[in-house]
């Protein structure tokens, strides 16, 4: 029978058992501003008479990228090798055993999350702390971005102590409601873990890190080609507006004689207005399609936000 947290802390002469949890963190709703300012254009103008007021078409889409942070190399530590009871494979297997017992899908091993977990464990050892936020202010979300894990949700479990094996470690986490909730969170698809021995308060102990997450690709994709098309058409519309305004000024000039050149000017104006209206209609169609994608993406993110609360 596995030892409880309390007995584990007492039976080892220098046994320390400290565990902490960080609830899931969400990716920024990078398209929330788009949803709040849905891209629109004004109605197309008519061409039944030579002179019309041309309404401008202004369309903006905001896309905020993730910041990549470069960390300093941590000091060397004793790493849990593949043959170690606290190897990555053993900890992930023990984690997935608990998920399967609860009727959940096992988590997939993520090299990126393994890398972020490694950074966290080695940073705690090198800088002598045991917190979810590092002395430099980094959180699990920062580490996810640092290793290129483009997430919609992430979470972190930490453990420090004299653990016998992976099952011993998992039992300690499962005995804590908060850690258990992270392990059994249905929003996670991926996992990366890392364990290493280091010194804490004068004792050599294991530092263990679980990083959970689900990549942004789980949500509907936004078409970059469609966005490029929208930008291209809207630029063309703005140029057409400028040209139409110039032609209109010439047509409305009272000094302009009503001759063949004037008739040609009107024909040119109406032809351009027709092209403008066609481009505005195309822009409206493309923007409506893109906004549907944005709404679907935000709806997906909202579901993960709800799972956090």
**HEC profile of 109-137:** ECHHHHHHHHHHHHHHHHHCCCCCCCCCC
DSSP 8-class letter at 284: H
Alpha carbons 265 and 271: distance in angstroms, whole number: 10
Q: Give the H/E segment covering residue 288.
A: helix 260-308
CA 114 to chain centre: 18
pLDDT for residue 83? 56
DSSP 8-class letter at 14: T
pLDDT for residue 95? 97
Q: Give, for all 309 residues of the chain, the pLDDT tens digit.
A: 222 221 111 122 223 334 444 444 444 332 222 222 222 222 222 222 222 222 222 222 222 222 222 222 233 344 444 557 899 999 999 999 999 999 999 999 999 999 999 999 999 999 999 999 999 999 999 999 999 999 989 999 999 998 999 999 999 999 999 899 999 999 999 999 999 999 988 889 999 999 999 998 899 888 999 999 999 999 999 999 999 999 888 888 887 777 788 888 888 888 998 999 999 999 999 999 999 998 998 888 888 776 655
Q: Which position has the token pair 């047509």?
A: 251
Token output for 204: 């050599």
């Amino acid at each position: 029978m596995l030892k409880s947290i309390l007995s584990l802390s007492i039976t080892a002469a220098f046994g320390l058992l400290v565990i902490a949890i960080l609830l899931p963190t969400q990716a920024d709703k990078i398209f929330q501003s788009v949803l709040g300012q849905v891209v629109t254009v004004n109605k197309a103008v008519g061409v039944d008479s030579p002179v019309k007021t041309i309404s401008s078409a202004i369309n903006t889409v905001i896309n905020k990228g993730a910041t990549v942070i470069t960390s300093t190399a941590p000091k060397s530590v004793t790493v849990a090798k593949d043959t170690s009871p606290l190897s990555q494979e053993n900890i992930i297997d023990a984690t997935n055993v608990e998920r399967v017992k609860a009727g959940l899908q096992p988590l997939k091993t993520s090299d990126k999350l393994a890398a972020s977990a490694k950074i966290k464990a080695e940073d705690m050892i090198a800088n002598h702390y045991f917190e979810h936020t590092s002395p430099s202010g980094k959180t699990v979300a920062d580490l996810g971005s640092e290793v290129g894990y483009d997430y919609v949700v992430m979470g972190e479990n930490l453990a420090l102590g004299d653990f016998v094996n992976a099952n011993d470690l998992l039992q300690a986490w499962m005995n804590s409601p908060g850690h258990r909730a992270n392990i059994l969170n249905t929003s996670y698809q991926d996992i990366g873990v890392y364990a290493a021995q280091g010194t804490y308060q004068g004792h050599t102990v294991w530092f263990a890190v679980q990083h959970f997450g689900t990549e942004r690709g789980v949500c509907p994709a936004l078409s970059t080609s469609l966005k490029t098309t929208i930008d291209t058409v809207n630029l063309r519309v703005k140029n057409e507006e400028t040209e139409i305004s110039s032609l209109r000024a010439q047509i409305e000039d009272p000094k302009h004689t009503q001759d063949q050149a004037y008739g040609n000017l009107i024909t040119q104006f109406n032809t351009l207005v027709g092209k403008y209206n066609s481009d505005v209609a195309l822009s409206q169609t493309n923007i409506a399609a893109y906004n549907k994608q944005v709404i679907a993406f935000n709806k997906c993110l909202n579901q993960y936000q709800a799972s956090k609360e």
